[in-house]
């Protein structure tokens, strides 16, 4: 057994490939209870990094530990292949290669097909690279048969999930503001956003009231108290100021006097470009608002915002004239600062144009920022949109896909890019006197994670999964486990048909899921509570098309049956068919005449001409694809999800804690919609890698190359890295540093050296218990007071600890127990004690063979317990133990199971003996100052406690002497504490170096103890 992991690990890999470990395990475990673990698909790009390494090693620990408990543990690795990151990269590459211009000459479908071919090749390349790298991590998985989200069968299955959700009425299409990337011209998922600081204009804008009188009425003025024109010069107010002996003369009208000015509503925004889509101002009905005189203007502001806003603008003459609660302001109308009349809204905007430009109520209005009056553009904000729906305000979005205005805006803005428009709008507002105050404002703002450009809220027609509104209903013609769904959802404790939204359902269902660590439950609950409907459509080429068709009239057709029909085509031909086939071919398995989801008129018009249908341009959010993997991968491969008690759900998902919002949640939602239950039983999360200062790992760190998988394998060996991963408190952040790998290497070597020492002492030993063939001493013949019985009892305890820790996914505890056992129990205690008998007892003596039997059991057991973690080293040691020839393909520790307890009985006095030995050790240390530096120069006498009486035999005294490393030991009831004898004047055995009192000159002239003389056969 050699140390060189760098050379030998690849040899192990080759051997395992030859053995076909994964396949053989499947065969041998067939029919055993299953443990089903489902791999979350990493994205198929880049090289795998430390984050992958920890994730994949932890997963491998699960697979191997469960497998070594005799369970059947199938494990299918997967990759997430579609999506913007690959498409983005491919587009850049095509541009660099000058293919972009050629692309532009193609039709839309042709262009997408070309791009998709490139994307597929790209994804395949990285899947292959990842497979190789993950294999190099020594992980055990069905790498020959992985799941890829771009496989035709996977694509078809994913559309079946969509079809079932359609059946449940949980999918809808609607104009709605979504995060939109103008740079990539697509809607973005929450997960595709990054928040970065950005500078924007912060503007306080005055919107003139349409009816001044109504505003003054709202603030309690009466018409009689209107300020007279003469008074405007301020004679009265000047007088009152004088009486107040103020140096400053406010020009504000005196209290109760109604000013002549037309009042304004002051709003605040950091997106001036959205002002042309402003259709309402929102106030909080509960807040107090003030009518304020500010340097000659009369403005409405939240009372609590007056000081802050006017101080910021350095206003001089600020007087609160009157106050009113927000509900008094509702319905007041205003004039848009630069849009004349009402814009011409497109049909799909809906709403009633007559509702525009008035003050509405909204409880999300706060006083932390701004003026307490919120600029509301239903086409450009989530909350604005909700308010708009309630108030029947049109959903108006004058911004095109590319971030430029359309023609519905004032002429001076038409065609302008919105970021440019920010400046123009600010200038326009200043010039027209509507700008109260503006400044540059730095805030955290969402950016497109690929292009790193800012995103906007933009209203577009998108597909949604209904999480928050429609009720889950399993009473319909569900094609998938219909009966079982009803069983599982209709029971007395789980009333799912009684008006639960998917979100409510999700919140309830996570109570049935086990979370490791437990706080994951709260975290996920919090995330679910704030979850909006799920926008599942994207406007790109590289993805799974949403099988929607449009009639020439603009009506959309996507029914459960039509989606299933397309699904069949995708299963047969892959989703490229969407771009290469026409509607009639894609719907060849579809009979609209029999589709009850269609209205009778639609049934007729579609049946008459399938060819007139236009294919939709949307693809699915990649999260929908990976979130369907419980079905598209696991159901496809035999996971049933049919038992009412959920015992056939997937046992475990294990990912980083970011997946509470990502894959875990987005797997839960479709599964609840389709099968009415979570797809998983346990969710286990790990933390993230941070640097030695606890900061986020930077990809640009100067020593980044040392953290690449290849160089880690070369520098440390994978078994060391795996040993390191097993040592981590992975549920929290994990500090990473090359130095730490070095330390893991040190402790790895300790374990390896222990195994190596034991193996080297088994060279002349055959394990068979058949007296003629092998040398085993049956363990039931072990004296309870022997070191061998003691160490096997310790090993049984270790086995329990380790297996229990493995079952709890607590690899750190297993790691620590294994290390402590090798380092302390074996290396410092047992092995140090039995060295003498291994070296000096007669080769075939009962005592030596008994110890070798023990060594064999220990080595075998340790190899098995270590196998899930250091899978190369354990297998190498295991094969060395069995004295396997290099070409032996049969023996492999990874086909074995954990050891059974040895059940050896050890004397109850061992603990007391160790206590006594500890005291002796201290005395021996003290004796060094008296010149007894080598323990073999010492003898020890221990007080004879009752618990130790059974050890007071010739054999027992030798066990004690060997444990202490001294030449002789004995017990004496008459001494109170440890006594050390100086034996330096006694003869020393030249073979065993012991001064045990039997040393004398033998017939061959050598100085030997009785034992050694017998061993070499002299008298």
Partner RNA sequence: GGGCUCGUAGCUCAGUUGGCUAGAGCGCACCCCUGAUAAGGGUGAGGUCAGCAGUUCGACUCUGCUCGGGCCCA
Q: How far is the CB of 453 from RNA (least distance, A)?
A: 16
Applying the rule CB under 7 A, the residues between 10 and 39 that interact with RNA are none
**Neighbour-count burial of 552, counting CB atoms closer than 10 A to its CB (0-12 exposed, 13-18 middle, 19+ buried):** exposed
Residues in 971-1010 at the binding interface with RNA, rule: CB under 7 A:
991-993
For the stretch 733-763, what's the b/e string if a residue is b when 16 or more beta carbons lie within 10 angstroms of its beta carbon? bbbbeeeebeebbebbeebbebbbbbbebbe
CB of 840: closest distance to RNA in angstroms? 5
Q: Which stretch binds RNA (CB under 7 A): 79-87, 672-680, 827-835, 842-850?
A: 827-835
Query: Are 663 and 626 spatial neighbours (Cβ–Cβ below 8 Å)?
Result: yes
Q: How many whole angstroms separate alpha carbon 722 and alpha carbon 54?
A: 8
- Nearer to RNA by Cβ, of 604 and 922: the residue is 922
- Classify each residue of 374-406 as buried b or exposed e, where b means 16 or more C-beta atoms within 10 Å of its C-beta: bbbbbbbbebbbebbeebebbbbbbbbeebbbe
Task: Give one DSSP letter per residue of 569-624, joined into a string.
Answer: HHHHH-TTHHHHS-HHHHTTT--GGG-TTS-HHHHHHHHH-GGGPEEP--EE-HHH
Query: Crossing angle of helices 871-881/738-760, nearest 10°?
Result: 10
Position 945 contacts RNA (CB under 7 A): no
Q: Is 235 exposed, middle or buried (0-12, 13-18, 19+ CB in 10 A)?
A: exposed
Among 168, 176, 756, 847, binds RNA (CB under 7 A): 756
Give the x/- contact pattern for RNA in 685-724, rule: CB under 7 A.
Answer: --xx-x-x-xxx----------------------------
What the block records as the tokens of 1014 is 């017998």
Residue 965 touching RNA (CB under 7 A): yes
Q: Does 882 bind RNA (CB under 7 A)?
A: no
Is the CB of 69 or the CB of 823 nearer to RNA? 823
By CB under 7 A, the count of residues binding RNA is 72
Q: How many other C-beta atoms are found inside a 10 Å radius of the C-beta of residue 178?
A: 25
Query: Which H, E and C letters describe 719-731, residue by residue?
Result: HHHHHHHHCCCCC
Please, what is the end-to-end C-alpha distance for the chain in angstroms?
A: 39
Nearest approach, Cβ of 689 to RNA (angstroms)?
9
Q: Which is nearer to RNA, 412 or 519 (CB)?
A: 519
C-beta of 191 vs 210, nearer to RNA: 191
What is the x/- site pattern for RNA, positions 421-460, by CB under 7 A? Answer: -----------------------x-x--------------
Q: Which stretch binds RNA (CB under 7 A): 317-325, 744-752, 792-800, 952-960?
A: 744-752
Interface residue with RNA among 145, 402, 522, 714 (CB under 7 A) is 522
Residue 839 binds RNA, judged by CB under 7 A: yes
Any contact of residue 828 with RNA (CB under 7 A)? yes
Supply the minimum distance, in Å, between the C-beta of residue 506 and RNA.
15
In eight-state DSSP terms, residue 203 is E
Of the pair 297, 825, the CB lying nearest RNA is at 825
Q: Which stretch binds RNA (CB under 7 A): 12-20, 248-256, 493-501, 753-761?
A: 753-761
The DSSP bridge pattern shows strands 1000-1001 and 1007-1008 to be antiparallel
- What number of CA atoms fall less than 13 Å from residue 207's CA on the CB side? 30
Of residues 173-212, which lie at the interface with RNA (CB under 7 A)?
190-191, 193, 195
Which of residues 151, 747, 941, 967 is near RNA by CB under 7 A?
Answer: 747
Among 261, 753, 766, 845, binds RNA (CB under 7 A): 753
CB–CB of 340/410 below 8 Å?
yes
Q: Hey, which residues between 658 and 677 contact RNA (CB under 7 A)?
A: 658, 660-662
| Residue pair 819/746 in contact by the 8 Å Cβ criterion | no
Q: How far is the CB of 835 from RNA (least distance, A)?
A: 5
Residue from 70, 158, 152 nearest 900 by CA: 70
Of 700, 737, 735, the closest CA to residue 716 belongs to 737
In the bound complex, what is the minimum distance in angstroms from residue 754's beta carbon to RNA? Answer: 5
Closest approach of Cβ 842 to RNA, in Å? Answer: 13
Scan residues 920-939 and list those touching RNA (CB under 7 A): 921-922, 924-925, 928, 933-935
Span near RNA by CB under 7 A; candidates 558-566, 641-649, 699-707, 746-754: 746-754
Q: Answer yes or no whether residue 832 interacts with RNA by CB under 7 A.
A: yes
Residue showing tokens 């400046």: 423
Please give the residues from 212 up to 271 whose contact with RNA meets the rule CB under 7 A.
none
Candidate segments 244-252, 424-432, 815-823, 978-986, binder of RNA by CB under 7 A: 815-823
Distance between alpha carbon 633 and the CA centroid of its chain, in Å?
A: 19
User: Based on CB atoms, which residue is closest to RNA, 589 or 1002?
Assistant: 1002
Q: How far is the CB of 63 from RNA (least distance, A)?
A: 23
The stretch among 21-29, 134-142, 741-749, 853-861 that binds RNA (CB under 7 A) is: 741-749
Nearest to 906 by CA among 845, 950, 952, 970: 950
């Amino acid at each position: 057994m050699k140390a060189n992991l760098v050379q030998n690990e690849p040899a192990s890999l080759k051997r395992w490939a030859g053995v076909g470990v994964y396949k053989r395990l499947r065969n041998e475990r067939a029919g055993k209870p299953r443990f089903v673990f489902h791999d979350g698909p990493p994205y198929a790009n880049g090289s795998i990094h430390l984050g992958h390494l920890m994730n994949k090693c932890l997963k491998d620990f699960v697979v191997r530990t469960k497998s070594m408990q005799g369970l059947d543990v199938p494990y299918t690795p997967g990759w997430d292949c579609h999506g913007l990151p690959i498409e983005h990269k491919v587009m850049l590459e095509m541009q660099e290669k000058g293919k972009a211009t050629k692309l532009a000459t193609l039709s839309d479908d042709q262009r997408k097909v070309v791009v998709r071919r490139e994307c597929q090749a790209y994804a395949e390349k990285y899947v292959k690279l990842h497979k190789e790298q993950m294999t190099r991590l020594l992980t055990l998985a069905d790498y020959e048969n992985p799941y890829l989200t771009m496989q035709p069968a996977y694509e078809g299955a994913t559309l079946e999930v969509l079809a079932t959700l359609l059946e449940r009425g949980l999918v809808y299409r609607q104009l709605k503001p979504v995060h939109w990337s103008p740079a990539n011209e697509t809607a973005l998922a929450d997960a595709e956003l990054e928040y970065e600081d950005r500078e924007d204009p912060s503007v306080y804008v005055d919107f003139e009231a349409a009816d001044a009188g109504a505003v003054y009425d709202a603030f309690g003025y009466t018409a009689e108290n209107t300020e007279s024109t003469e008074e405007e010069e301020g004679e009265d107010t000047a007088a009152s100021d004088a009486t107040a002996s103020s140096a400053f003369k406010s020009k504000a009208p005196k209290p109760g006097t109604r000013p002549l000015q037309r009042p304004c509503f002051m709003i605040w925004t950091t997106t001036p470009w959205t002002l042309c889509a402003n259709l309402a101002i929102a106030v909080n009905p509960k807040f107090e608002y003030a009518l304020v005189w500010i340097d000659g203007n009369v403005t409405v502001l939240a009372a609590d915002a007056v000081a802050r806003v006017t101080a910021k603008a350095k206003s001089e003459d600020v007087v609160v004239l009157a106050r009113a609660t927000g509900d008094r302001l509702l319905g007041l109308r205003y004039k848009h600062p630069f849009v004349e009349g009402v814009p011409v809204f497109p049909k799909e905007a809906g709403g009633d144009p007559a509702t525009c430009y008035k003050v509405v109520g909204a409880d999300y209005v706060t006083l932390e920022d701004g003026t307490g009056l919120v600029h509301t553009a239903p086409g450009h904000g989530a909350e604005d949109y909700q308010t708009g729906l309630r108030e029947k305000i049109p959903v108006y979005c004058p911004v095109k896909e590319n971030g430029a205005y359309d023609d519905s805006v004032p002429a001076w803005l038409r065609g302008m890019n919105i970021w440019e428009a920010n400046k123009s709008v600010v200038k326009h507002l200043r010039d027209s006197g509507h700008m109260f105050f503006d400044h540059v404002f730095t805030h955290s703002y969402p950016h497109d994670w690929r292009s790193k450009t800012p995103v906007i809220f933009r209203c577009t027609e998108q597909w949604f999964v209904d999480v928050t509104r429609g009720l889950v209903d399993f009473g319909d013609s569900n094609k998938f486990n219909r009966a079982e769904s009803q069983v599982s959802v209709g029971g007395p404790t789980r009333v799912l048909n009684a008006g639960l939204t998917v979100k409510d359902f999700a919140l309830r269902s996570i109570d049935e899921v086990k979370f490791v660590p437990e706080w994951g439950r709260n975290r996920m609950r919090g995330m679910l509570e704030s979850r909006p409907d799920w926008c599942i459509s994207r406007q790109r080429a590289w993805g799974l098309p949403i099988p929607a068709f449009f009639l020439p009239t603009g009506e959309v057709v996507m029914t459960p049956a039509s989606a299933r029909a397309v699904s069949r085509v995708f299963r047969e031909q892959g989703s490229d068919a969407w771009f290469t086939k026409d509607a009639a071919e894609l719907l060849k398995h579809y009979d609209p005449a029999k589709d009850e989801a269609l209205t009778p008129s639609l049934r007729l018009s579609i049946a008459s001409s399938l060819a007139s249908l236009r294919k939709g341009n949307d693809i699915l959010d990649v999260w929908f694809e990976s979130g369907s993997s419980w079905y598209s991968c696991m159901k496809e491969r035999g996971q049933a999800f049919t038992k009412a008690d959920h015992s056939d759900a997937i046992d475990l998902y294990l990912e980083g804690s970011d997946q509470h919002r990502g894959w875990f949640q987005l797997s839960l939602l479709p599964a609840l919609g389709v099968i009415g239950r979570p797809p998983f039983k346990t969710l286990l999360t790990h933390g993230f890698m941070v640097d030695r200062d606890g900061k986020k790992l930077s990809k640009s760190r100067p020593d980044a190359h040392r953290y690449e998988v290849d160089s880690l394998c070369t520098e440390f060996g994978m078994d060391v890295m795996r040993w390191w991963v097993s040592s981590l408190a992975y549920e929290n952040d994990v500090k990473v540093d090359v130095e730490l790998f070095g330390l893991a290497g040190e402790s790895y070597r300790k374990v390896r050296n222990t195994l190596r020492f034991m193996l080297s002492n088994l060279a002349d030993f055959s394990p068979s218990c058949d007296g003629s063939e092998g040398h085993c001493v049956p363990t039931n013949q072990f004296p309870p007071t022997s070191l061998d019985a003691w160490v096997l009892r310790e090993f049984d305890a270790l086995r329990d600890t380790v297996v229990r820790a493995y079952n709890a996914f607590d690899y750190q505890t297993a790691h620590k127990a294994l290390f402590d056992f090798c380092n302390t129990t074996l290396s410092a205690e047992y092995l140090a004690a039995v060295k003498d008998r291994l070296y000096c007892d007669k080769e075939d003596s009962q005592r030596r063979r008994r110890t070798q039997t023990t060594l064999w059991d220990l080595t075998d057991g340790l190899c098995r317990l270590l196998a899930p973690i250091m899978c190369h080293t354990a297998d190498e040691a295991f094969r060395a133990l069995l004295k396997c020839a290099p070409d032996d393909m049969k023996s492999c520790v990874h086909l074995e199971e954990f050891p059974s307890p040895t059940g050896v009985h050890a004397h109850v006095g061992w603990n007391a003996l160790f206590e006594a030995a500890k005291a002796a050790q201290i005395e021996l240390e003290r004796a060094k100052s008296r010149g007894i530096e080598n323990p073999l120069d010492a003898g020890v006498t221990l007080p004879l406690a009752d618990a130790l009486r059974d050890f007071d035999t010739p054999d027992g005294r030798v066990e004690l002497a060997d444990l202490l490393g001294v030449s002789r030991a004995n017990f004496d009831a008459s001494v109170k504490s440890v006594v050390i004898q100086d034996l330096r004047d006694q003869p020393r055995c030249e073979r065993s170096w012991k001064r045990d009192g039997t040393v004398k000159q033998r017939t061959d002239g050598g100085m030997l103890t009785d034992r050694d003389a017998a061993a070499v056969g002299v008298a």
